Structure 1
């Protein structure tokens, strides 16, 4: 009996009646089954944040072409890159601010404001009539939408520790599906007058704004999600002693290990001195640069004519490939990822996925020699594998980042990651579009002709990310 009493903490955790964070913590302690509802909120919020990111990729080539700003066909990809980068530029400038707001005032208000931003500015982007309006709307969409950083913190806080992998896996599953289904919607619904003339007549509103329909659909989904998120449970504690009380509970636990004491000491340090966090964020930024460049290049490359080293796909063809990949991501993240991550660990999984991506990606330029059913099979298999590997890497890095900080810094930490990621993703589409344009002007070079150099450049970035996953650069918090 004495031993049992000795093992119990001297200070029992107290819950504040009017604190939303305490209510969530108490529900977790009582192991109430609220996972499905919480997963639904996460899905809605993340999809609202990610659907607009890449939904323009299948049609931005034609949108820029309709703006009549490009002097030659090869220059279209360059301007398309500017439009793709504008949202990430805006996000990189404000993500830390939104993270700090979420740490001070709560995750819920930042998430809802971000969703409302999608409703407004994504709709206006679909009504763009020139390059400057398109770039401006994308910039505002990025700078006023800070929900993706706080939602990663939220996914960690809403679940018990043993279910946190499920929460973060859900974020990345929704993220991956959004980044794939978004382009699929753009591919299917852009230029509806040309594709569905029996529904959308010529010389109508839809003919004047041929890229509005996919934007409208995404905005309508965001509007419904904003209403649903009114019932989103808040996870942040609102009592002033929330940090001190947690520290005291941990400090007074009998038998605390050195690792626990290190955690308590670490809480008082500047977040920028937390190397396990900062090293994982830097690696994440490198992989994010690769991922967004790949997403932009894939659509532009597939849509490009055969004479420029592309596949001569239609927007419907690109939409079909991305829709199938999105379904594969959903299945993998919700069924297989946790098993694979448990077997390998997040660090080893990132290393393996990065190494496997390199030979796979270098095979893409060879697909131009295929046609018909064979091309359809090969491009779909390659796209599924590539996108699954991308999401496995992202999920594992999210786990490392959120384990490196405590709750009172988690919103800021995830927003620092979002800022770095957005800065690198600002570079990605613009540089990818410019590189693709340059490669198409050198399609007949004897050494690495055309798109071979593009996919080699992607692999160099991927290889750098893999190298940084090893010591002494990467540090992992136990």
Structure 2
């Protein structure tokens, strides 16, 4: 996460200079190399180094978001952005499943993998190789990926000089208008619609990451500490079902939500609806059996759907707040800020949950209620930031 946060702006600028396709292809290629090296790590420092390099050299997210906007017509941009989010959701579900089934194969499948084989020496190599193999197929498929950022005037002029001579090239130069100079990248920091949407995006990212952390800790905590006494596999099932509902929603429903409400109102509505859902969690500790399972699964699915609605809405605002020439850098800034928020959130959530458990029997907002109250406070801050004067809306979304 730190590696990605450090390098995202750089890769966004590179994508604006050389195109989206080369950066996407190189990023996926880095996954092939460093994910395999991570599986071969025998020392802790090597695992940390390969993970950092994997994040720093993987500049995929910024150009992918820009590409999803540029390859779609305006009325289909919501679907394009939602596809990126859907792919992320699929990775969240499929990735841990691959790791769980294929990690330590010599112990899980001793009849297939010997303890002294390479998979016995490197117990996490097999899932890493599977991911690297899939990434290698994606690298090959990048050959058929059309470029959306076209800057061919310099090449055309050079070809004209060779084919027709300097006289014809001079005439062509006179008849061909010079391209307008690109706005400096520093102007992005003064782009209020962009920066205000990034700030809102970061608050929601901080909230969502802290929510997942607190939800997992809360469900496995004992009833005497205000939790649900779930086993880890039970928590995994809840999160998997929530992730599956997210995929269905993104593919089939989100574009209609965006068409009816627009990115701004959909962000506001989804944020407002998240508040009562989070407030209801502490009171679920009074339930058990199917009376607990049904509302818990429904709440987790709704929270997941509402969270992705907010994220996709703010991503649409960011990408439409800048011209195409700055879209990669703009997404790089957003990715850096989001990565820092997501790196900061788990530590804060863990400290907050530990503190809350110590005041479980307090008269005013006992621990389990206090932790979700503070989560809701973050949600309210994000909701407030979607209104004027905090959020400056891009011109095409002004009513």
Give the TM-score normalised by the residue count of structure 2: 0.81
Whole-Å Cα distance in 1 between the matches of residues 330 and 267 of structure 2?
A: 20
CA displacement at 1:419 relative to structure 2? 1.1
CA displacement at 1:314 relative to structure 2? 3.9
Kept after mapping to 2: 8 A contact 1:400/1:476? yes
Structure 1 residues 119-134: aligned runs within 5 Å: 119-125=32-38, 134=47
1:118 corresponds to which residue? Answer: 31
Whole-Å Cα distance in 2 between the matches of residues 322 and 188 of structure 1?
A: 17
1:234 corresponds to which residue? Answer: 147
- Answering whether residue 189 of structure 2 is matched by residue 272 of structure 1, we say yes
CA displacement at 1:232 relative to structure 2? 1.6
Whole-Å Cα distance in 1 between the matches of residues 197 and 326 of structure 2?
A: 16
2:247 corresponds to which residue? Answer: 330
CA displacement at 1:221 relative to structure 2? 2.7
Whole-Å Cα distance in 2 between the matches of residues 153 and 349 of structure 1?
A: 21
1:392 corresponds to which residue? Answer: 309
Whole-Å Cα distance in 1 between the matches of residues 86 and 13 of structure 2?
A: 25
- Answering whether residue 329 of structure 2 is matched by residue 412 of structure 1, we say yes
Kept after mapping to 1: 8 A contact 2:79/2:254? no
CA displacement at 1:196 relative to structure 2? 6.9
1:461 corresponds to which residue? Answer: 378
Per-residue CA shift, 1:412-452, capped at 9, x if unaligned? Answer: 11111111111111111222233233334544544444443
Give the TM-score normalised by the residue count of structure 1: 0.69
**179-188 vs 102-111, greater mean Cα deviation:** 179-188
Whole-Å Cα distance in 2 between the matches of residues 337 and 120 of structure 1?
A: 35
2:390 corresponds to which residue? Answer: 473
1:439 corresponds to which residue? Answer: 356
- Answering whether residue 349 of structure 2 is matched by residue 349 of structure 1, we say no
Kept after mapping to 2: 8 A contact 1:271/1:413? yes
Whole-Å Cα distance in 2 between the matches of residues 95 and 190 of structure 1?
A: 30
- Answering whether residue 297 of structure 2 is matched by residue 361 of structure 1, we say no
CA displacement at 1:184 relative to structure 2? 4.8
Kept after mapping to 2: 8 A contact 1:107/1:150? yes
Q: Secondary structure at the match of 1:363?
A: helix
CA displacement at 1:469 relative to structure 2? 0.4
Q: Secondary structure at the match of 1:334?
A: helix
CA displacement at 1:166 relative to structure 2? 1.9
Kept after mapping to 1: 8 A contact 2:38/2:128? yes
1:222 corresponds to which residue? Answer: 135
Against the structure 1 CA distance between its residues 377 and 194, is the aligned structure 2 distance closer, same or farther, given a 3 Å change threshold? Answer: farther
Structure 1 residues 79-478: aligned runs within 5 Å: 87=1, 89-125=2-38, 134-186=47-99, 214-240=127-153, 270-306=187-223, 308-478=225-395
CA displacement at 1:392 relative to structure 2? 0.6
CA displacement at 1:155 relative to structure 2? 0.7
CA displacement at 1:355 relative to structure 2? 0.9
Against the structure 1 CA distance between its residues 323 and 95, is the aligned structure 2 distance closer, same or farther, given a 3 Å change threshold? Answer: same
Q: Secondary structure at the match of 1:345?
A: helix
Per-residue CA shift, 1:382-424, capped at 9, x if unaligned? Answer: 1111111111111111111111111111111111111111111
Whole-Å Cα distance in 2 between the matches of residues 464 and 381 of structure 1?
A: 25
Instruction: Name stretches of at least 5 consecutive residues in structure 2 with no aligned partner.
Output: 156-174
Aligned residues: 373
Whole-Å Cα distance in 1 between the matches of residues 110 and 221 of structure 2?
A: 24
Against the structure 1 CA distance between its residues 222 and 364, is the aligned structure 2 distance closer, same or farther, given a 3 Å change threshold? Answer: farther
Whole-Å Cα distance in 1 between the matches of residues 71 and 18 of structure 2?
A: 17
Against the structure 1 CA distance between its residues 209 and 131, is the aligned structure 2 distance closer, same or farther, given a 3 Å change threshold? Answer: same
Whole-Å Cα distance in 1 between the matches of residues 365 and 328 of structure 2?
A: 44
Whole-Å Cα distance in 2 between the matches of residues 181 and 453 of structure 1?
A: 33
1:22 corresponds to which residue? Answer: none
Kept after mapping to 1: 8 A contact 2:119/2:126? yes
Against the structure 1 CA distance between its residues 399 and 185, is the aligned structure 2 distance closer, same or farther, given a 3 Å change threshold? Answer: same
Per-residue CA shift, 1:166-187, capped at 9, x if unaligned? Answer: 2112112222333344445555
Whole-Å Cα distance in 2 between the matches of residues 199 and 438 of structure 1?
A: 46
Whole-Å Cα distance in 2 between the matches of residues 158 and 375 of structure 1?
A: 44
Kept after mapping to 2: 8 A contact 1:360/1:382? yes
Kept after mapping to 1: 8 A contact 2:20/2:64? yes
Kept after mapping to 2: 8 A contact 1:111/1:147? yes
Against the structure 1 CA distance between its residues 116 and 311, is the aligned structure 2 distance closer, same or farther, given a 3 Å change threshold? Answer: farther
Whole-Å Cα distance in 2 between the matches of residues 200 and 356 of structure 1?
A: 50
